Amino acid sequence: MLLSTDPIYIQEVGMRDGLQSAGSFIETPDKVDLINQLSKLGLTKIEVTSFVSPKAVPLLADAEEVLQTIERNSAVQYTALIPNLRGLERALQTELDEVNVVMSISEAHNLANLRLSCSESMAQIATIVERSAGLRVNGTLATAFACPFSGPTEPREVLNWAQRYLDVGIDSLTVADTIGAATPGQVYSLCKQILTRFPNIELTLHLHNTRGLGIANALAGIAAGVRRFDASFGGVGGCPYAPGATGNVCTEDLVHALQFDGYSCAVDLEGLIAATDTLAALLPEQLPGLVRASGTSKKRHPMSEGLRKLASEKRISL
């Protein structure tokens, strides 16, 4: 198996994509503490919050206060999701490195999620880019593989909307498997097509683990040339406007797979597990991540005295 020697960059989205649909409100000081922990672990980017209406997403109503309070690491890019021009106005009053805009390729999901047609969303995004005052803008294409309402997405549609994103001036692109419907073959094929057509683009793959293929899909993305991945510590998350969608691919599970398979991924895995322990104590539901529960592949269990005695009798060296 050929392994990549290029660094793989992990971008933490749990503080936004995870907490927006969490079972309960996490207090602002606890959010700040979590972000401060995550900032020290080698993550390339942290999506801190969303400037969505507090009435629509009350769990992220403290966006400004969180951004004013966190301890920043110069090696980390701090970003936030903005849904509209009002969100941009709020974002520009804070200290951010980047804003993330999103639209769905599927008309049905875009209507459910944003109450806009795809063309209306793109027009709004063009205005956001124009008024971003030099702030980096990342464009996310949701439902890039399938929509919960209309089914599979054609790759040519992804390429067409990616071109339109670039035409309005976005700085980087994310393609999202919003409902976790993609397979490794589909991920490899689409990412290869995007990178072939847009060889200079900074491309991120945003994966969900709805059907258990999140890590396999990440490895397929790496094989196609992707080097940046969104992930959510503890595996929390899921789009509230996509029926059946569950959590994002779990950050510690993905980092574990990459590091133990020999990839260059400079994230502190033990520190990440500790941060997830902190998160787990704040949420009522059990987190879906696996490595935190089972331990890393280095974990060893003691043998019973009975087995040790049997080994001695059989002259087996343990």
Between the CA of residue 151 and those of 161, 167, 198, 237, 241, what are the distances in Å?
18, 27, 26, 21, 15
Among 118, 147, 191, 239, the active-site one is: 239
Lookup: tokens for 36: 């401060």
Whether the Cβ atoms of residue 263 and residue 227 lie closer than 8 Å to each other: no
> CB under 8 Å to 187, separation ≥6 — which residues?
145, 177, 205, 217, 220, 221, 224
Q: Is 4 strand, coil or helix? A: coil
- Spatial distance between the Cα atoms of 152 and 164, rounded to a whole number of angstroms: 20
262 exposure class (CB count in 10 Å sphere: 0-12, 13-18, 19+): exposed
Q: Is 244 strand, coil or helix? A: coil
**SS3 of 137-175:** EEEEEECCCEECCCEECCHHHHHHHHHHHHHHCCCEEEE
Is-catalytic flag, 191?
A: no
Q: Is 277 strand, coil or helix? A: helix
Between the CA of residue 128 and those of 91, 100, 106, what are the distances in Å?
11, 10, 21
Element (H, E) at 136: strand 136-142
Length of the chain: 318
- Spatial distance between the Cα atoms of 93 and 113, rounded to a whole number of angstroms: 25
Which residues are known to be catalytic? 239
